[in-house]
Amino acid sequence: PYPLYAELRKTPVVRDEDGPYLVSTYWEIKSLLHDPRVSSDARNLTPEAARGTDLEQDPNLPPAFIRLDPPEHDRLRRLAMRPFGPPHTPRRVFDMHGELTEIVSGLIDALRDRDAIDLVDDFSYPFPVTVICRLLGVPREDEKHFHEWADTIAASLDPPGTDEERQAQQESLRQARGDLAAYLAGLVEERRRAPRDDMLSAMATDHGPDGQMSPVEIITTAALLLVAGHETTVNLITNGMLTLLRNPDVLQRLRSDPGLAVPLVEELLRFEPPVQMLPQRTTLADIDIAGTIIPKGAPLYLMVASGSRDPQRFTDPDRFIPDRTDNQHLGFGHGLHNCFGAPLARLEAQLALTELVRRLDAPRLVEDPPPYRRNAVLRGPRHLPLTVSG
């Protein structure tokens, strides 16, 4: 997609036929992400723009806060953040360091004696679902259900081939969503009665200036964390390993200097970001941007992956520079919807990549490019077959 983005950036704002307005340059995207006249509210979408989001949004539940505007967004985000809020933020994520390392090691141990693996199915997929389960406080014996639900939700994000496939996909999605919501409702009730040290308990019992979250709000928020925190992290780890295998000198550097993981993950979020664009935004008024008037009520696609390669902002934007400085990429968005899970996602990717290069013996790509998923929003290989020296 990157040559296409370079073409797009020649005109910062373009209209895709009769459809959405595409914004592709760094400063314009950033300014729109901070503009109160741009709405994320799912209920403001035109019917055409809303088509396709039915997969993401459960019609039986109110929108999660990623699809709400202030003040509803801010109240729910603050409530969901509270378990991480000061003084907890660094501690919570830091506390998870040991647990994350243990999960990563367990998954890599299971690959011992294999001489061929699929990094996606064997590692990138299971890792972040397990992490979200631990964060929420899902009992270990129930984690397998989350893996299944996450698989179904993930499959539904890629467009189906035929109408029949679409129908089957919708049906299994409906089922998975219903099961997930019912399961969470039960667990929320349990934690309300007997809280533990986990996020569901905190959301179910905390009182504060914003009041309390209703059970439905807790369920939509927990489901949002699963959807927003799973596939994205899968793709960051897979894109990361692919980029390292294409740049063996950088892989060697990371092996001998794990500290490189910090700037490296930022550069991956700029250079090969899991989230390529933020669709599903609507203008609440006419907005003049880079000399183009985007009319009120227009659907807007913010092409963040293009912004992160804008030569007006980044020197040598098409070069992968693992220790790049001043790297204010748009990989986690910006403004009031900026990624809620960014500190956790960073730590997951840093640990995963460091351990993978340290422990996998002579990993090699079986095919380059590997098979990619068909998805314009989320970019990453569907499979990453590797050979390793068992």
Interface with ligand HEM by CB under 6 A: which range of 244-252, 286-294, 306-314, 341-349?
Answer: 341-349
Closer to ligand HEM by Cβ: residue 314 or 340: 340
**What track of x and - describes contact with ligand HEM for positions 229 through 258 (by CB under 6 A)?**
x--xx--x----------------------
Residue 66 engages ligand HEM in binding (rule: CB under 6 A): yes
Residue 325, phi then psi, degrees to nearest 5: -110, 170
Residue 63 engages ligand HEM in binding (rule: CB under 6 A): no
| Candidate list 9, 337, 373, 379; residue touching ligand HEM; CB under 6 A | 337
DSSP per residue, 242-303: HHHHH-HHHHHHHHH-GGGHHHHHHHHHHHS-SB--EEEEEESS-EEETTEEEPTT-EEEE-
Scan residues 261-300 and list those touching ligand HEM (CB under 6 A). 274-275, 278
Interface with ligand HEM by CB under 6 A: which range of 44-52, 162-170, 325-333, 355-363?
Answer: 325-333
- CA torsion through residues 173, 331, 261, 368, sign: positive
191 burial level (CB within 10 Å; 0-12, 13-18, 19+): buried
Residue 213 engages ligand HEM in binding (rule: CB under 6 A): no
Tokens of 288: 């003049």
Do residues 202 and 196 make contact, with C-beta atoms less than 8 angstroms apart? no
Residues belonging to the chain: 390
Q: Is 137 left (phi over 0), alpha (psi -120 to 50) or beta?
A: left
The Cα 92–Cα 104 span in angstroms is 18
Residue 308 engages ligand HEM in binding (rule: CB under 6 A): no
**What track of x and - describes contact with ligand HEM for positions 71 through 110 (by CB under 6 A)?**
------x---------------------------------
| Candidate list 83, 307, 322, 333; residue touching ligand HEM; CB under 6 A | 333
Tokens of 257: 């200097």
Closer to ligand HEM by Cβ: residue 228 or 260: 228
Scan residues 132-191 and list those touching ligand HEM (CB under 6 A). 132
Residue 224 engages ligand HEM in binding (rule: CB under 6 A): yes
Residue 32 engages ligand HEM in binding (rule: CB under 6 A): no
- Alpha helix positions (H), the chain: 2-8, 26-33, 47-50, 72-81, 89-109, 119, 126-136, 143-157, 163-193, 199-205, 215-246, 248-256, 261-271, 304-307, 342-359
Residue 345 engages ligand HEM in binding (rule: CB under 6 A): yes
Q: Which helix (H) or strand (E) holds 138?
A: none
At its nearest, how many Å lie between ligand HEM and the CB of residue 116? Answer: 26
Interface with ligand HEM by CB under 6 A: which range of 1-9, 17-25, 143-151, 227-235?
Answer: 227-235
Residue 179, Cβ neighbours under 10 Å: how many?
14
At its nearest, how many Å lie between ligand HEM and the CB of residue 237? Answer: 8
Residue type, 4: L
Residues that bind ligand HEM (CB under 6 A): 40, 65-66, 77, 132, 224-225, 228-229, 232-233, 236, 274-275, 278, 331-333, 337, 339-341, 344-345
